[in-house]
């Protein structure tokens, strides 16, 4: 995860705790869980190749994660011990002190309790043990999120996101039969991959303090545009390249035009998106009797790339998922260690100082938008492979979900804080939640309603602005 910012008080790559006891403990936990997963995999009758792959990957990720958490706790404790003498005087005593320290937590827990009681009192079918357990789990998450996440200086949002993700997976695997089955996980990851690829650009742009609302329109336009080009007889790889290039050019135009209008990038990209979608639809409906829809055959390699039954190097995993993972690693590393990534953070954090240091604002701004357009086009092309037919409205739901994933992950829309690792967590939370809601039988509109209500508290946990009093 990219929530580890290089600090001055310790080496940037310190993923290993100082105390060797913690290292051994972590290793033991990892081996235990890895072994359990290994056994479960064989018990479920998966092929040995897959089981070994999954076990290795999950153990590595888990080991890295707990080591990271241990490091954060260690350094935090040291910092607290250093400053303990100064802070001792501030803490008030008694009930008032407790209330002042935990006001938000108590209010949130109270609200949740009231909501639970009301629903329980009114809907008889709701009075079941799993629901009670789920409620208690939610309260526990709240306590955890408020009390433990305070320990993290950076990456609070990522930590909360991970907790929520974990809780969601636990709840859904208990309440929904077959939630943890291979096909379901594959489906969740596949849709997460589409959303994640579309979010690459949105994250970069948000890090600079802008927004790109042209993404859904570019997705839809590239979706029908690619099929149209293939239908004209253009070789499919060339058509793919053309669509990606055109997407990049649209992004470039977005960037150049919005450079002087940064406060209104939101509206400008919206307008560009409208224009692009309209233009491509006009183009594709000339000489066609189906206005707006394009019919044709999708080439096999594209279908294999994104369809549910796609195969990667003999593994029954759609290559899109692998592509997303590789992309995520590249973007995270690039944002963290390349000059380009650091300059983006610098510009988003304080534009004026970055400019004075000599960073070309125009260059990075347009580059971020270009990347955004390019990845939107890539998502549209992949969605064509997934669905097998061109449809302009395929990108519509990405208008706000890309934004929601970025926001839930914890990247600030004001720029300068966040990263693609955060967005990956946001994407996974959204997709798992969506799968959970579908699993318990809620329709799309209820999902949307819950997404909307979810964004606010998640952002409120970490994305609050300072009071105007402290800004003067």
Positions in 189-218 near other proteins (CB under 8 A): 211
For other proteins, the closer CB: 174 or 274: 274
Torsion of CA 370, 375, 381, 386, to 10 degrees: -170
From 148-156, 185-193, 279-287, 304-312, span contacting other proteins (CB under 8 A): 279-287
Of 425, 187, 154, the residue nearest 320 (C-alpha): 187
DSSP reduced 3-state for 428: helix
Contact letters for other proteins, residues 232-271 (x by CB under 8 A): -------------------------x--xx-xx-xxx-xx
Question: Residues 6 or more apart from 279 whose CB is under 8 A from it?
Answer: 221
Contacting range for other proteins; rule: CB under 8 A; set: 177-185, 313-321, 333-341, 464-472: 464-472
d(CA 5, CA 463): 18
Q: Which residues in 370-409 contact other proteins (CB under 8 A)?
A: 399-400, 403-404, 407
Count of chain residues binding other proteins (CB under 8 A): 55
Among 273, 319, 380, 410, binds other proteins (CB under 8 A): 273
Considering only the stretches 38-46, 237-245, 306-314, 438-446, report the one whose residues sit in contact with other proteins under the rule CB under 8 A. 438-446
**Among candidates 327, 335, 307, 334, which has minimal Cα distance to 375?**
327
Pick from 272, 354, 376, 405 the residue near other proteins by CB under 8 A: 272
Which of 134, 231, 292, 393 forms a contact with other proteins (CB under 8 A)? 292
* 449 binds other proteins, rule: CB under 8 A: yes
Which residues fall within 8 angstroms of residue 260, CB to CB, at 6 or more apart? none
Kindly state whether residue 349 participates in binding other proteins, applying the rule CB under 8 A: no
Give whichever of 341 and 463 is closer to other proteins, judged by the CB atom.
463
Q: Cα separation of 229 and 295, whole Å?
A: 11
Is 100 an interacting residue with respect to other proteins (CB under 8 A)?
no
178 contacts other proteins (rule: CB under 8 A): no
Could you give the C-alpha distances from 316 to 47, 194, 208, 322, 417, in angstroms and in order? 11, 18, 38, 11, 37
User: With respect to other proteins, which residue has the nearer C-beta, 281 or 381?
Assistant: 281
Residue 334 CA to residue 323 CA, distance in Å, equals 16
Token pair 């329109």: residue: 217
Q: Which residue in this structure is represented by tokens 């096909």? A: 183
Q: What are phi and psi of 315, to 5 degrees?
A: -90, 145
How far, in Å, CA of 175 to CA of 184, rounded?
14
Packed helices 265-285 and 236-259: angle between N→C axes, nearest 10 degrees: 150
Nearer to other proteins, 319 or 415 (CB): 415
* 101 versus 271: smaller Cβ distance to other proteins: 271
Segment interacting with other proteins (CB under 8 A) among 30-38, 84-92, 153-161, 450-458: 450-458
Backbone angles phi, psi at 313, to 5 degrees: 45, 45
Please tell me whether residue 24 binds other proteins under the rule CB under 8 A.
no
In the complex, the residues that contact other proteins under the rule CB under 8 A are: 211, 257, 260-261, 263-264, 266-268, 270-279, 281-282, 285-286, 291-292, 399-400, 403-404, 407, 413-414, 444-453, 455-456, 459-460, 463-469, 471-472
């Amino acid at each position: 995860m990219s929530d580890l910012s290089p600090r001055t008080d310790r080496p940037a790559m310190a993923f290993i705790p100082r105390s060797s006891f913690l290292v051994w403990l972590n290793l033991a936990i990892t081996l235990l869980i890895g072994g359990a997963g290994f056994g479960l995999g064989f018990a479920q009758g998966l092929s040995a190749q897959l089981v070994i792959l999954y076990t290795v990957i999950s153990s590595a990720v888990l080991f890295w994660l707990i080591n990271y958490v241990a490091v954060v706790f260690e350094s935090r404790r040291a910092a607290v011990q250093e400053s303990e003498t100064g802070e001792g005087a501030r803490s008030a005593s008694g009930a008032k002190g407790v209330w002042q320290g935990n006001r938000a937590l108590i209010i949130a827990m109270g609200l949740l309790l009231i909501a639970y009681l009301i629903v329980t009192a009114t809907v008889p079918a709701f009075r079941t043990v799993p629901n009670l357990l789920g409620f208690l789990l939610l309260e526990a998450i709240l306590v955890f999120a408020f009390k433990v996440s305070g320990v993290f200086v950076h990456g609070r949002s990522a930590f909360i996101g991970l907790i929520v993700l974990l809780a969601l997976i636990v709840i859904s695997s208990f309440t929904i039969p077959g939630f943890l089955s291979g096909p379901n996980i594959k489906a969740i990851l596949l849709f997460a991959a589409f959303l994640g690829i579309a979010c690459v650009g949105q994250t970069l742009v948000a890090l600079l303090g802008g927004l790109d609302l042209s993404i859904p329109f570019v997705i839809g336009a590239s979706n029908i545009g690619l099929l149209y080009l293939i239908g004209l007889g253009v070789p499919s790889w060339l058509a793919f390249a053309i669509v990606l290039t055109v997407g990049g050019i649209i992004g470039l135009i977005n960037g150049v035009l919005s450079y002087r209008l940064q406060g209104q990038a939101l509206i400008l990209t919206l307008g560009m998106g409208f224009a692009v979608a309209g233009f491509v639809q006009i183009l594709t409906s000339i000489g066609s009797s189906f206005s707006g829809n394009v019919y044709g055959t999708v080439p096999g390699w594209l279908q294999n790339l994104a369809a549910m039954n796609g195969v990667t190097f003999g593994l029954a995993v759609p290559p899109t998922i692998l592509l997303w993972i590789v992309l995520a690693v590249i973007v995270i590393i690039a944002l963290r260690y390349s000059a380009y990534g650091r300059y983006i953070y610098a510009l988003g954090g304080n534009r004026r100082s970055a400019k004075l240091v000599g960073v070309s604002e125009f260059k990075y701004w347009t580059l971020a938008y270009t990347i955004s357009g390019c990845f939107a086009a890539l998502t549209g092309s992949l969605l064509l492979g997934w669905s097998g037919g061109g449809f302009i409205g395929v990108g519509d739901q990405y208008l706000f979900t890309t934004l929601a994933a970025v926001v839930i992950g914890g990247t600030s829309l004001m720029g300068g804080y966040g990263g693609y690792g955060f967005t990956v967590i946001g994407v996974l939370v959204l997709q798992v939640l969506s799968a959970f809601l579908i699993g318990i039988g809620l329709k799309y509109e209820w999902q949307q309603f819950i997404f909307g209500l979810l964004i606010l508290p998640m952002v409120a946990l970490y994305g609050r602005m300072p009071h105007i009093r402290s800004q003067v």
